[in-house]
Structure 1
């Protein structure tokens, strides 16, 4: 295990620090937006801007890397992101914040592309699954830890934004000082939406709906907490619980994924999400119930992303998986742009509890469509399915493609091992 991580510890440390800064700024937007008197709809536009930038960064960063190299792109994006974080308290206008969020989303997506290229190059076929899992854990731990840092300052001042900028700035130190030359990122051209839908209707529709729900959940949670009168500490705890649930439920859902019809599991965990959102809506804002709702709503959203990736791969030939991964990332991004806008408009018109009801509708639509698709196509056998690997919705196409490659290799290795044990 030590040998697995000895070559990537600096990258994992850097990612942890980046996510501390980025996780702080996600919650700070909702907190400071409330102080500035921004409406829920205005903040939803600001939130959506991040995902516009993120989707653009995933598309254009590989082009930049091929032109000038990983190190220059990585350093430039880090500088822009650090500057943008400091600019938030200086430009307290919704239009300015939207532009800054687009910039930060572009930079974060580019950072992921570069970092995941290094990570994938450092991993071997034997340890790629462990390395990718450690990378995802570092990301989630950073976001959760960021919520604790928020308790050290006041969102009405510039101190927390400056702190987030400092964390992002120093995060590039261990990465750039240990970086070794790697080939330019080769991201496959995304499969068209029509081809993707023809190959996997459930994967395409489901991941779009999930994108809408996930972005609304993570981007608007602080806005929701602010509107129902939670303190800054309680809002930070709510956001941390969303991601804590994702970390805790990823493994058991992944374990089930390799042992049953994934469509049944998608429907089941989606219905759990409906129940969790219903609890948050019905209880009317009691903190304990809100935390339980957040744990399970957040806990099923991230594993659902991995489930859709794995299920789609089950329907494809190995040579098509990379293109399909890019198509799924793009489809998820489209949903992520739309989701905050819908939930912001609903909160503006019907009140803050629409935060839960809109998410519940997204989860319910996923569950119903999964049940419908079960009547249209037979389930693949266990031998025909690819292995599940937990991938965060924030991952770039580089990590998603690497996970697809690992899934194929691991499934083939398991099949060979079973064949050796049963010579019949």
Structure 2
């Protein structure tokens, strides 16, 4: 079936996704920069990211219950309104404690809106169109998230205008879905997490995803603060964040393809060591100017985002087909726990050692990631390359919910079906 024929029925859903991601991207960079301008401590700004991660993870568990009672359209519209309210409240009440609460509201609401959109998309895919729709969904999420970063330079972050622009983006997300004639999908499947199963299946994926969350949480939430303290303009701060995302996009496929041919844990170790080298360079080049910082961000992004994908790929090497959604969803929740830790860890080092502490937080987490992956090569025999599924790129993990895994071409279950654990776990040797 031609791609336009596959995409046409979901254009409205993709438009809503674009506006949501753009608004989320703007809010994610705007709040840390404005907080830094206000002179708030790194701990207070780091708490924004931690409260967001906690609420987002909680939303993944609670939202299926809410959607069952209110329905998809009403739930989506209410949550989008809540997002607009949360960012407008940030413009009205300039207080770090209040912003921690407002950021949590946004995290909870974003989890719900993402899950509703993803469940709608799941209803429209077939086995033939799954790969195409998943790829388009990835492109839309990444493009919107990066585009949202550049909305902030359109206005001075010390004014209320960028907050209003964020509210407009969230409000615009309601229009395509409200006017869509697509029927409401089945109720959302409740999120289930089986930590012992995940650890038995792949200890290195368990620890690796947790550390990948620390890396991402530290960078995504504190990089704008570093940029502001380093004297970068708002456009340069946005470029710093986007450069890291671009690095993740560029390096994800090459690293993944290499991991298809050799033990993935060696690739994970190499990625971690590259992260250590990049972070070390960042410490010494923190005052070297915008261009050098963009290069450092590009290299760091090249490992910050693929570390999650590599760990998930290793877990899927050992997972039974029917366990793919359950294990991947559980790993995403673990990633969320890591993103709760990352901002506060980076904030502690930035308060202790100055703005360059963000690179120290990334370097230490990357070192642990590399060391544990290498240690595990002595504890478990690698599967032959021909017995492993091919690496698949994933969206930026912070834009995913467990519902998105039913869209993934590797999902060998019917969307919305209950994924019962019927397989024997592979022992960790």
**TM-score bracket for this pair, using the shorter chain length:** over 0.9
Q: Does 2:59 match 1:57?
A: yes
Instruction: Pick the structure with more helix per residue.
Output: 1
CA distance in 2, matches of 1:375, 1:333: 28
Change (3 A) 1:22 1:166: same
Give the corresponding residue for 1:417: none
CA deviations over 1:363-391 (Å, ceiling 9, x no partner): 11111111111111111122321232222
2:408 aligned to 397, 403, 406, which one? 403
- Does the 8 Å CA contact 1:19/1:139 hold for their aligned counterparts? yes
1:19-418 aligned within 5 A: 19-178=21-180, 179-191=182-194, 193-286=195-288, 287-391=290-394, 392-394=396-398, 395-403=400-408, 405-406=410-411
CA deviations over 1:201-255 (Å, ceiling 9, x no partner): 1000010011011011111110111122222121111111111212222222233
CA distance in 1, matches of 2:107, 2:316: 27
Mind listing any 5+ residue stretches in structure 1 that lack a counterpart? 410-424
CA distance in 1, matches of 2:163, 2:179: 25
CA distance in 2, matches of 1:92, 1:352: 23
- Does the 8 Å CA contact 2:215/2:365 hold for their aligned counterparts? yes
- Does the 8 Å CA contact 2:280/2:363 hold for their aligned counterparts? yes
- Does the 8 Å CA contact 2:212/2:305 hold for their aligned counterparts? no
Following TM superposition, by how much is the alpha carbon of 1:326 offset from its aligned partner in structure 2, in angstroms?
Answer: 2.4
CA deviations over 1:10-58 (Å, ceiling 9, x no partner): 2122211111111111111122112222111110011211101110111
Give the corresponding residue for 1:16: 18
Following TM superposition, by how much is the alpha carbon of 1:408 offset from its aligned partner in structure 2, in angstroms?
Answer: 9.1
Question: What root-mean-square deviation, in Å, do the aligned CA atoms of Structure 1 and Structure 2 show?
Answer: 1.7
Normalising by the residue count of structure 1, what TM-score does the alignment of the two structures yield?
0.92
Give the corresponding residue for 1:414: none
| Aligned length in residues | 408
Normalising by the residue count of structure 2, what TM-score does the alignment of the two structures yield?
0.91
Change (3 A) 1:188 1:46: closer
CA distance in 2, matches of 1:290, 1:151: 18
Mind listing any 5+ residue stretches in structure 2 that lack a counterpart? 415-429
